[in-house]
Structure 1
Amino acid sequence: MIEKYALFFLRSNEHFPEGTLFELADTTQPSLPDRGDGEAVLIDMERLIRCPEFAENVPPGQCPVAVTSVSKGDLNNVTIDQTLHYQVVEIPFAVEISQVLSATVNDRLHGLEVERYESSIVDRKYRLHIGHLRPGFYEAICELPDSEQLLITFIKFFPKQFTDRYAEIAQNEQLRRNGNDARRVPIPSIAIAPHHRGDVFSDELLNYALKLTTEWGENYGKPIKERILRLFPELSDQEIDALTKISREAEYYIYDLAAQELDGKINEHDIVPFARGKFTWLDRENSSRLANIGMFYARK
């Protein structure tokens, strides 16, 4: 029997933030191949909202990555090295790991081998290139000397521009359940904590404002007031102006870094760290996206 798969958003659950998007088996009770610690768990269909297929392609290099478990060594020592052009899992050599002979990467959902690597050692680290892998649940089996193995599990999540559609889809789902009576539909919860007038801006709110300020398409260059008030109705005009100003400062700073990269003053991989060093609230998704835009325009 051929197993079918579909995209699902997670409702409120104990493993991932509400609105997390995964491809899962389309069955009466699918499982999460990785619940965030490397272990699989069954999940009730009531915890899921079916997501329509996307018309656009998902850029694999922009997918956030989380390493969820390692069978040897310290999980905190396994890092993700990421630029605009690659994503790499870096495994430092330690007492438990003196050498990696080869590595096989398996897709845990589909049960397929998706990649095999030979030794790739740089500065006493094994570098596992995963930028080309699509969103999903993975395990890397690293062959060590003396027939030992190192098992690493990791998840590649859908980029934020795809998961941001959760609120609209969840609201439409509630409308269908309640006979299209909008008065009975609660506002879907989101991953960003509510903002109360006078509060210090949270990192999540600042990044959301930056996304709106730099949005492309029909909203390009438009004020963010109407859009941001849909999720944060307590924001004052002064606070919205302040968010816009901060967003523009971060945007133009990144574009200036991109221009410096073209002039040879800095390296490409310095843009995101420099930007996040100056604007400590800046997340990797926003900084990488704007760095990419800045480099594109710098070369025109």
Structure 2
Amino acid sequence: MTASRARLAGSTALVTGGSDGVGLEIVRMLADAGADVIMPVRNRAKGEAAIERIRETVRDARIVLHDLDLARLDSVDALTAGLREEAAIDICVLNAGVVLLGDRRRHLTADGFELHFQTNFLGHAALIRGILPLLERSRARVVVQTSIAAARARIDWNDLNGARRYSPYRAYAASKLALSLFGLELARRSGRITVNLSHPGVVPGTAIAAPVRALLPQDLVNWAVHRVGNAPATAAQTAFDAATSEADAPVMFAPSGPFGLWGAPVPRAPFRRFLDADAAARVWREVDRLLS
């Protein structure tokens, strides 16, 4: 642990989707700052490999694995039941997500929900509901990992599963919008939890960029990785800053570069769609209905 970044010593953080990519770098930063990190993963072997990678640079990293498949509500319930024994969760980063832009087929989970909708949104909402007393007791900071795709997204309240009209991009964007609205409504309803948004920018090596990479010459892809977009460590800094910000009101941290696509993180105004209080309240009601 570096002396200059020991400010989270004694705190506990939970990060979903921490076994690779941006999520792994978020876990690394929190551990390096002294936090004990809970890392729920779908693939335990992958999670163990991630911890080994993190300990190459943060030798004293304290990371505990738990099992979690956000696409199964029974898995979320099992995790939250176990977490209730924790003394505190001071930081909760909702980072995990799925994006299937190259697959036009609509995939349903075992619970009957469209895969993007449940993994990116509803599973996280169930997680927050399950540990809400713990978060409130800790006066926690919750970080919602959002996406620029959510800036122009729309939620079809009459077709949440995309049964009538399905597009993987629309499904992904709507799921990120729903999660962002849920997070901001959580902040409105709880006087003891601070919620910040994190937009990591474009990260060329991640899943959302894969269909684009497949269409481009490799030389152009290599150029883009180095010149356009953020490396995972830079992208992770937005979530770290959101998790450690001392602001009382919700803030969105996003890249400082053109159109917020790359660059070091800075506080930015949330996307206009995130400010729709009526939509946020409706998302909250839908969560109540779907998880009741």
Q: TM-score range by the shorter chain?
A: under 0.3
**Higher fraction of strand:** 1
Larger radius of gyration: 1
- Normalised by the size of structure 1, how large is the TM-score? 0.27
**Higher fraction of helix:** 2
- Normalised by the size of structure 2, how large is the TM-score? 0.27
Larger RCO: 1 or 2 (CA < 8 Å, sep 6+): 2
